[in-house]
Structure 1
């Protein structure tokens, strides 16, 4: 299993959790962003800087992810692509995207996008919280333990 991070908007606290997890498990981690990010000096951790532009990090991840990998992203279209390729997708808030829920989430995302494009103020996502951090850490731990058993 390789862990990929759509890192442009990923909270720092989530990256820190991931850095500790890969040191504990020995799994490789690649952060992909259109800006340079500092990462710990570890042979397990890489940072890939893609050109600036719409969805460049998403395109890079989608082109390199393999079945069984784990992608950390809040981007529903990227999560749908990842799930279709047989990989796992997990949001920074701990929501696991899978075949059983990705279609509904993608439809909802597209509906909300249509509303915003017609001028409806749909508000933004709630702020990232300590409960979100804990939900992510718990879900990540379960995923890594189940991957270790395979």
Structure 2
């Protein structure tokens, strides 16, 4: 996995890439938690959405409003994601796209996605969609709880620390 960009002037010299947290922000319940962690680490979080929204006040929180339309925010995030980045999303297809680019991906509930678990997550997503369409089950996700918020903070903190140790 590449953790820096080779300089054109000197191919043996590495340029450190900043850590950026990309947030699929439209339905993200942990914006305040993200703000706390990026403040502590002095890194940038880009909150991506199709519309203006109230965000935590911080010089490290940047809004990014993309065109309205299906998957426009997802497409923008997937294009930007790199191995030194963290993507926060509950969208499983977006998580899969970002993992393929080497980014770390964390769900809003604090559960990380990884190359070993994403296949099963995609299969369960498709199965649940079919069951909803047939009327066999109702609803999409369990409610967001305090333990999810705590798990999210812990996982995001640990993920950023791990990336910082790996970046030259």
TM-score in terms of structure 1 length:
0.91
- Which residue pairs with 1:103 in the alignment? 119
SS in 2 for 1:149: helix
- Which residue pairs with 2:101 in the alignment? 85
- Which residue pairs with 1:126 in the alignment? 142
Spell out, residue by residue over 1:62-91, the C-alpha distance to the aligned partner (whole angstroms, 9 max, x if none): 111112210000000000111111111101
8 Å CA contact 1:112–1:122 kept in 2: the answer is: no
Moved more, 118-127 or 74-83: 118-127
- Which residue pairs with 1:38 in the alignment? 54
Give the unaligned 5+ runs of structure 2.
1-18
Moved more, 139-148 or 97-106: 139-148
Q: Which runs of 4+ in 1 moved over 3 A?
A: none
- Which residue pairs with 1:60 in the alignment? 76
Superposition deviation, residue 117 in structure 1: 2.5
CA RMSD for the aligned pairs?
Answer: 1.3
8 Å CA contact 1:5–1:32 kept in 2: the answer is: yes
SS in 2 for 1:131: helix
Superposition deviation, residue 56 in structure 1: 1.5
Query: Which of the pair has more CA radius of gyration?
Result: 2
In 2, Cα distance between equivalents of 1:79 and 1:119: 27
In 2, Cα distance between equivalents of 1:63 and 1:98: 18
8 Å CA contact 2:105–2:114 kept in 1: the answer is: yes
- Which residue pairs with 2:42 in the alignment? 26
Give the unaligned 5+ runs of structure 1.
none
Spell out, residue by residue over 1:107-145, the C-alpha distance to the aligned partner (whole angstroms, 9 max, x if none): 110111122223333433111110100010111111122
In 2, Cα distance between equivalents of 1:70 and 1:9: 17
More helix by share: 1
In 1, Cα distance between equivalents of 2:84 and 2:116: 17
Superposition deviation, residue 41 in structure 1: 4.3
